[in-house]
A and B are shown apart, each in its own frame.
Chain A
Amino acid sequence: MSLVKIAGLHKHFGTNHVLKGIDLEVASGDVVALIGRSGSGKSTLLRTINGLETTDKGELVVDGTALHDGKGDLRALRQKVGMVFQQFNLFPHLTAGQNVMLAPTVVKGTPKAEAQDIAKEVLLKVGLSDKFDSYPDQLSGGQQQRVAIARALAMRPKVLLCDEITSALDPELVSEVLAVVRQLAAEGMTLIMVTHEMRFAREVGNKLIFMHHGRIHESGDPKTVFADPQTPELANFVGAVQPA
């Protein structure tokens, strides 16, 4: 049974048809890498999975919670789908610990002491247990992004969406964030990530999806897809991002 099921998904921005019928199934424990040129629809597709983008037509089901033609229980969906953003988007007036505790206490009504335990646990998981009381502007970009991952994990999501989460980082900080993602994948977390880290996608991912002009143009096992692209568009893209 697939954890995430997308069927016939369409999305317009005004007259611009950005998603032209997406069909996708993700099983529990899958690590999916979404790649493609800018404007291909990969970020939009990712953002539809927790309802940050509405859709016009089609079906989206995550662990039994469904949106039909963009309608359904968004908040139930979002409690199952965590998201990490390119720009971290931590709440600047809250400490790392408070950032992590906010959603469990406010959304789920978790008692404060319990939320604090959860926060400590997830901050430990991302290697920042000593930063509980630090404010975002006291942390490096890599640390902020790891807090953002912890914040998403605190809601115990079934699937974690990562939207170019290393693109805003200085090169030397990329690896500490990727290490956390790698560890999550190893623990069986279901991940869907838009990424430009092709090597990482190949090493950690078990499914690669190449988006082109609002469609899934080619998909498969990353190792074979990268080695032997079936379409000229993907061959072109792979050649452009990693010159031989």
Chain B
Amino acid sequence: MAYRFDFAPVFEQTGLLLSGAGFTLALTAVGAVLGIGLGVTGAVCRAWKLRPFDRLFGVYVEAIRNTPFLVQLFFIFFGLPALGVRMSEWQAAVLAMVINLGAYSTEIIRAGIQATPRGQIEAAESLALTRPQIFRHVVLRPALAKVWPALTSQVIIVMLGSAVCSQIATEELTFAANFIQSRNFRAFETYFVTTALYFAMALLIRQLLVQLGQRYVVGRTR
């Protein structure tokens, strides 16, 4: 007998799914803001070779980009308590996402900073701007504008990657989906709906970041 599709048991849990999706979005929002902040800091240190921070960020970037996100998360949540650092699953999830996005965005933003024409920096120097002023007023916005699409994609990758936070019982969307599926055994229906939700969230975030970029980064102020 053929499998009979029945979505009703999934939709009964709509509240749970939506709250999971909400938590995923919240995790992503906090992770993206702090992660990109960390990335800007790392990118300046690396691009302008600020000793010794450039080396430290170099090691950090390589360590994060060459290890699995799940292992990074487990290390923070299960490993660090051995050093007396205990966190809730939410804290651990946010920290893991910030650290992960921080490493990737360091390299993405660094590319943007290094693409600043030398002459523009010289022009700013000749106008007596300090290095921090040059960074803030001359370098940063064009650099972010150049790499905004790449940064947008990376934020979405991190949002999708947050699914593994379910493994430390962070109650985000995948955790909710696993929970629902374990009750109703409707794996196809549950994960189909969950997939659709992730897809919709990814589209939403992309749209949001495109709009934000147009408004504050890539676009013109008048």
With A78-B128, A103-B128 as given contacts, are A85 and B119 in contact (CB-CB < 8 Å)?
yes
Q: Which of A86-94, A120-128, A204-212 contacts B (4 or more CB under 8 A)?
A: A86-94
Answer whether residue B123 sits at the interface, using C-beta atoms and an 8 A cutoff.
yes
Shortest distance between the CB of B82 and any CB in chain A (Å):
48
- Which residues on A sit within 8 Å (CB–CB) of B117? 87, 89
The 0/1 profile, CB within 8 Å of A marked 1, for residues 118-135 of chain B is: 011011111111100100
Q: Identify which of residues 62-93 in chain A touch chain B, using a CB-to-CB cut-off of 8 Å.
A: 75, 78-79, 81-83, 85, 87, 89-93
Alpha-carbon gap, A151 to B220, bound state (A): 20
Shortest distance between the CB of B173 and any CB in chain A (Å):
37
Answer whether residue A50 sits at the interface, using C-beta atoms and an 8 A cutoff.
yes
Instruction: Decide if A106 touches B119 in the complex (CB within 8 Å).
Output: no
Shortest distance between the CB of B29 and any CB in chain A (Å):
26
Q: Is the interface of B mostly helix, strand, loop or mixed?
A: helix
21 CB-based A-B contacts, threshold 8 Å: A51-B125, A78-B127, A78-B128, A79-B128, A83-B123, A83-B126, A85-B123, A89-B117, A89-B123, A90-B123, A91-B137, A93-B142, A93-B145, A102-B127, A102-B129, A106-B137, A107-B127, A107-B129, A107-B133, A135-B220, A151-B127
Shortest distance between the CB of B203 and any CB in chain A (Å):
28
Instruction: Decide if A75 touches B120 in the complex (CB within 8 Å).
Output: no
Shortest distance between the CB of B117 and any CB in chain A (Å):
7
What residues make up the interface of A, taking CB atoms closer than 8 Å to B? 50-52, 75, 78-79, 81-83, 85, 87, 89-93, 95, 102-103, 106-107, 133, 135, 148, 151-152, 155
Alpha-carbon gap, A151 to B127, bound state (A): 9
A sample of 4 more A-B contacts (CB under 8 A), given A85-B119, A92-B120, is A51-B125, A89-B120, A103-B127, A106-B133
Alpha-carbon gap, A87 to B121, bound state (A): 12
Instruction: Decide if A52 touches B127 in the complex (CB within 8 Å).
Output: no
Shortest distance between the CB of A118 and any CB in chain B (Å):
13
Answer whether residue B193 sits at the interface, using C-beta atoms and an 8 A cutoff.
no
Instruction: Decide if B126 touches A82 in the complex (CB within 8 Å).
Output: yes
The 3 A-B residue pairs whose C-beta atoms are closest, nearest first, are A89-B123, A103-B127, A78-B128
Alpha-carbon gap, A90 to B119, bound state (A): 9
With A89-B117, A93-B141, A95-B222 as given contacts, are A106 and B129 in contact (CB-CB < 8 Å)?
yes
- Which residues on B sit within 8 Å (CB–CB) of A95? 221-222
Answer whether residue B38 sits at the interface, using C-beta atoms and an 8 A cutoff.
no
- Which residues on A sit within 8 Å (CB–CB) of B138? 91, 102
Alpha-carbon gap, A90 to B124, bound state (A): 9
Shortest distance between the CB of B221 and any CB in chain A (Å):
8
Shortest distance between the CB of B61 and any CB in chain A (Å):
27
Alpha-carbon gap, A239 to B145, bound state (A): 49
Shortest distance between the CB of A93 and any CB in chain B (Å):
5
Shortest distance between the CB of B156 and any CB in chain A (Å):
25
Instruction: Decide if A85 touches B122 in the complex (CB within 8 Å).
Output: yes
Residue of A with least CB distance to B122: A52
- Which residues on B sit within 8 Å (CB–CB) of A103? 127-129
Residue of B with least CB distance to A105: B137
Instruction: Decide if B126 touches A52 in the complex (CB within 8 Å).
Output: yes
Residue of A with least CB distance to B217: A93
Alpha-carbon gap, A135 to B138, bound state (A): 14
Shortest distance between the CB of B172 and any CB in chain A (Å):
37
Partner of B119, one of A51, A89, A102, A107: A89
Instruction: Decide if A78 touches B125 in the complex (CB within 8 Å).
Output: yes
Shortest distance between the CB of A200 and any CB in chain B (Å):
22
Shortest distance between the CB of A122 and any CB in chain B (Å):
13
- Which residues on B sit within 8 Å (CB–CB) of A75? 128, 130
